[in-house]
Amino acid sequence: MSASNETYTEDQYLEVNKYQPKSSSGKIANYVDTRVGGTGIVREFGRKVFPDHWTFMFGEVALYSFIITVISGAFLTFWFDPSMATTRYSGSYAPLQGLEMSMAYATSLELSFDVRGGLFMRQLHHWGALMFVLAMSVHMIRVFFTGAFRKPRELNWVVGATLLVLGLGAGFTGYSLPDEVLSGNGLRIIDGMLKAIPVVGTYISFFLFGGEFPGNEVIPRLYALHIFVIPALILILIAVHLFLVVTHKHTQYPGPGRTERNVVGYPVGPVYAAKAGGFFFIVMGVLSLLAGTFQINALWNYGPYDPSPVQAGTQPDWYIGWFDGVLRIMPGFIGNIPLEFVIPTPWGGNSIATPVLVPMIPITLLLLGVFVWPWLENWITGDKREHHLLDRPRNAPTRTAFGVAMVVWYLVMWGAASSDLMATHFALSLNDVIYWLRAAFFLGPIIAYLLTKRICLALQRKDREVALHGHEAGVIEVSAEGEFHEKHKLPNEHELWTLVSYEAPAPSGPQPNAKGKITALEKLRARLNRIWFEDRVEPVSREEYLEVMRHHGHGPSALEAAESRQAITAGTGSDSR
Contacts (CB under 8 A) with another protein, residues 17-76: 47-49
Pick one of 55, 378, 424, 501: the residue that binds another protein (CB under 8 A): 501
Q: Which amino acid is at 387?
A: H
Within residues 134-163, the interface with another protein by CB under 8 A covers 152
Among residues 381 and 419, whose Cβ is nearest to another protein?
A: 419
Nearer CB in complex with another protein: 157/449: 157
* Residue 344 binds another protein (CB under 8 A): yes
Task: Please pick, from the candidates 116, 384, 515, 551, the single residue that binds another protein as defined by CB under 8 A.
Answer: 116
Nearer to another protein, 196 or 380 (CB): 196
Least separation, in Å, of the C-beta of 200 and another protein? 8
Binding to another protein, residues 438-497 (CB under 8 A): 467, 493-494, 496-497
For residue 488, the SS3 value is strand
Residue from 84, 163, 408, 526 in contact with another protein (CB under 8 A): 84
In the complex, the smallest distance separating the C-beta of residue 241 from another protein, rounded to whole angstroms, is 17
**Binding segment toward another protein, per CB under 8 A, in 13-21, 33-41, 200-208, 395-403:** 200-208
- Among residue numbers 227 through 266, which ones bind another protein (CB under 8 A)? 247-249, 256-266
- Going by C-alpha positions, the residue among 97, 276, 307 that lies closest to residue 188 is 307
> Which is closer to another protein, CB of 91 or CB of 507?
91
Give the rounded distance of the alpha carbon of 390 from its chain centre. 16
Scored b (16 or more CB within 10 A) or e, 561-574 reads ebeeebeeeeeeee
Neighbouring C-beta atoms of residue 142, cutoff 10 Å: 19
Q: Restricting to residues 206-225, name those near another protein by CB under 8 A.
A: 206-217, 221
Q: How far is the CB of 510 from another protein (least distance, A)?
A: 25
Closest distance between another protein and the C-beta of residue 110, in Å? 10
Cα–Cα distance between 31 and 329 in angstroms, integer?
64
- Residue span binding another protein (CB under 8 A) among the ranges 136-144, 391-399, 452-460, 560-568: 560-568
Q: What are the DSSP E strand ranges found in 183-238?
A: none
Give the integer Cα–Cα distance in Å for 247 and 263: 13
Contact between 114 and another protein by CB under 8 A: the answer reads yes
In whole angstroms, what is the distance from residue 365 CA to residue 541 CA? 40
Q: Is residue 177 within 8 Å of 191, Cβ to Cβ?
A: no
Q: Is the peptide bond before 214 cis (omega within 30 degrees of 0)?
A: yes
Q: How far is the CB of 440 from another protein (least distance, A)?
A: 16
Quote the CA–CA distance of 231 and 237 in Å, as a whole number: 10
N-terminal to C-terminal alpha carbon distance within the chain: 52
Contacts of 246 (CB under 8 A, 6+ apart): 48
Please pick, from the candidates 36, 271, 368, 506, the single residue that binds another protein as defined by CB under 8 A. 271
Rounded Cα–Cα distance for residues 476 and 180 (Å): 70
Please check whether residue 526 is in contact with residue 509, taking contact to mean a CB–CB distance below 8 angstroms.
yes
Query: Which of 348, 474, 516, 556: binder of another protein (CB under 8 A)?
Result: 348
Tell me the number of residues near another protein by CB under 8 A.
Answer: 147
